Structures are given as structure tokens and as C-alpha cells.
């Protein structure tokens, strides 16, 4: 089979935000400039938006063949993704973010793995700050064995790089609602059911991270979310009690650090 003949969808969730206005045109351009083309791109818009933002999206809709799903009440990323998945007509779904750039061979690199038996396939990312300056490469475990070993300790996939089978995600009822950790929760559910994972040992996405991401990943809300995540891991038999307590305490300490020190920790210890 020629991979270029295989139909697949791209799912891209957004909300009204300054950086989305700035970077969504480039993100969409990178999707449609890929070496093989999706036959469907679903963009979910989470929450009511201003007239200017609506006009901005409709202008992009006139340029690119995208399908807009307007969610009039803000539901959060996890529910927005679940809504979008149901709108995808193809079995193979690629995730993309509105402020990231997909390398032009991303789809042709990942698609063969889905066709040949894997259920979830991701990759490394190159991270850039808000000004476009390169920060680092975030590497992830490559093999199924390594991913299994990593799951109790940290998220084993870069969400914006992932492609998966719709049937697999639907079979576990989609993303759970875990604040900024719904993707991790989905991998936990899929891994418990024995679905096959793999990461490609190269960067297929240029991701915008920087201080906004670090700021999001801190504070009491994130400590509470971490508690829920550890409970989720335990309930799905992906960790044990002692490891769960240790990870919760350690991460909670990081989450309450000032942004400057939290940023140093992420760059020094969680990136390569």
C-alpha cells in the first residue's frame, strides 16, 4: 500500500489566546505542507470567542480546508478533544497543537507504524521559547518496554506528536478529565488494556514551550491535579503505593517553587 493513499485526520484543539492568533497560521501551514496530506483537519474552538477571533478563524477557514467545531461553552482540553475525536471520520488521528510546527515528513514517518500494528505512536520534540529561540530537545522512551517502565514516573509521550487509532481511544472512553494531564491519563488507560505504543527517536514537531508552559505547571491546582493523577495510576494498576507517594511529594515540591527555579529544574533534569 502507498502510504499517501491512506486517509487520516488531524485533530487540533484551540482556544482564544494571543499566542494562538500569532502562531496558528504557521501551524496550519505546516500541516498542509506535509509530504502526505490529511483528508480531514478538525479544529475545535473551546469556549465563546470574540468577534475578532471568530473572524480570524473564518479567514483561515477560507484558506485551508479545515472543519471548525465551535464549542460555545468552555469545557477544557480533555472534553474538547473527546468532542473532536467523534468528529474525526478516519481511524488514524494525528494530534497537533495550534502553536507548534509539524516537520514536513511527520505524517509519512508515523503513519506506517499505525498501519503495521501500533496503536499510539509519538516522537521527541524540539522546544522553543515564545521568541522562537531553541531551548532543548525533549526525548521520550522509544520501545514499549521502556514506555512501560516510564509510566509510573512521568508522561512517556509528547502529546503534540502523537498519532493514534480512533477505535483504541474510543474503547477506553477517550481522555479522562485530569487538569493538564488528560493525555497522560489516556496513555495510562490504553496501557492497562495492552495497546501497543512506540516513540520515534527523532523530533517531528517544533514545540512552543517557554515560561508560559512553566507557569501553567505550578501552584496548588497542579498539586491537586498531581494527587488525582497518582490516584489514577494506582486505580489502573500502573504504579504502587510507595512509588506514588514519593512521586507526589517530589513533584509537589517542584510545583510550588518560584517560576525561575521551576524553569531551571525542567530544563536541567527533564530535558535532554
Query: Under the phi-then-psi rule, with left for phi > 0, alpha for psi from -120 to 50, and beta for the rest, what region is 76?
Result: left
Q: What is the mean pLDDT of residues 34-56?
A: 97
123-158 pLDDT, tens digit each: 999 998 878 888 889 999 999 999 999 999 999 999
For residue 270, pLDDT over 60 is answered with no
Would you say residue 268 lies in a domain?
no
Cα(147)–Cα(143) distance, rounded to whole angstroms?
A: 6
**What's the CATH code of the domain at 67?**
3.90.550.10
pLDDT at residue 260, as a whole number: 61
User: What's the sign of the alpha-carbon dihedral 251, 120, 150, 245?
Assistant: positive
Mean pLDDT of the chain: 91
Closest CA to 182 of 254, 252, 117, 85: 85
Would you say residue 133 lies in a domain?
no
> The domain containing residue 94 runs over which residues?
1-105
Would you say residue 134 lies in a domain?
no
Would you say residue 131 lies in a domain?
no
Contacts for 207 with CB less than 8 Å, ≥ 6 apart: 97, 100, 125, 126, 127, 128, 138, 158, 160
Would you say residue 204 lies in a domain?
no
Total number of domains in the chain: 1
Cα(81)–Cα(83) distance, rounded to whole angstroms?
A: 5
pLDDT at residue 264, as a whole number: 58
Would you say residue 271 lies in a domain?
no
Cα(191)–Cα(246) distance, rounded to whole angstroms?
A: 22
Would you say residue 77 lies in a domain?
yes
Amino acid at each position: 500500500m502507498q502510504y499517501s493513499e491512506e486517509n487520516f485526520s488531524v485533530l487540533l484543539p484551540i482556544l482564544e489566546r494571543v499566542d494562538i492568533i500569532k502562531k496558528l497560521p504557521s501551524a496550519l501551514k505546516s500541516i498542509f505542507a506535509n509530504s502526505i496530506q490529511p483528508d480531514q483537519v478538525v479544529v475545535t474552538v473551546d469556549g465563546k470567542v470574540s468577534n475578532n477571533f471568530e473572524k480570524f478563524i473564518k479567514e483561515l477557514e477560507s484558506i485551508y480546508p479545515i472543519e471548525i467545531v465551535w464549542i460555545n461553552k468552555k469545557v477544557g482540553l480533555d472534553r474538547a478533544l473527546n468532542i473532536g475525536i467523534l468528529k474525526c471520520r478516519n481511524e488514524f488521528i494525528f494530534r497537533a497543537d495550534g502553536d507548534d510546527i509539524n516537520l514536513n515528513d511527520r505524517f509519512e514517518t508515523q503513519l506506517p507504524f499505525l498501519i503495521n500494528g501500533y496503536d499510539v505512536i509519538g516522537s521527541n520534540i524540539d522546544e522553543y521559547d515564545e521568541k522562537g529561540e531553541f531551548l532543548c530537545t525533549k526525548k521520550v522512551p522509544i520501545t514499549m518496554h521502556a514506555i512501560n517502565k516510564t509510566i509510573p514516573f512521568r508522561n512517556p509521550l509528547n502529546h503534540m506528536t502523537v498519532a493514534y487509532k480512533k477505535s483504541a481511544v474510543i474503547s477506553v472512553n477517550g481522555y479522562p478529565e485530569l487538569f493538564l494531564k488528560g493525555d497522560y491519563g489516556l496513555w495510562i488507560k490504553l496501557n492497562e488494556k495492552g495497546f501497543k505504543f512506540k516513540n520515534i527517536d527523532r523530533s517531528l514537531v517544533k514545540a512552543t514551550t517557554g515560561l508560559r508552559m512553566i507557569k501553567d505547571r505550578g501552584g496548588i491546582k497542579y498539586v491537586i491535579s498531581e494527587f488525582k493523577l497518582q490516584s489514577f495510576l494506582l486505580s489502573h494498576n500502573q504504579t504502587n503505593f510507595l512509588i506514588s507517594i514519593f512521586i507526589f511529594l517530589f513533584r509537589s515540591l517542584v510545583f510550588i517553587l518560584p517560576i525561575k527555579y521551576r524553569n531551571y529544574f525542567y530544563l536541567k533534569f527533564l530535558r535532554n
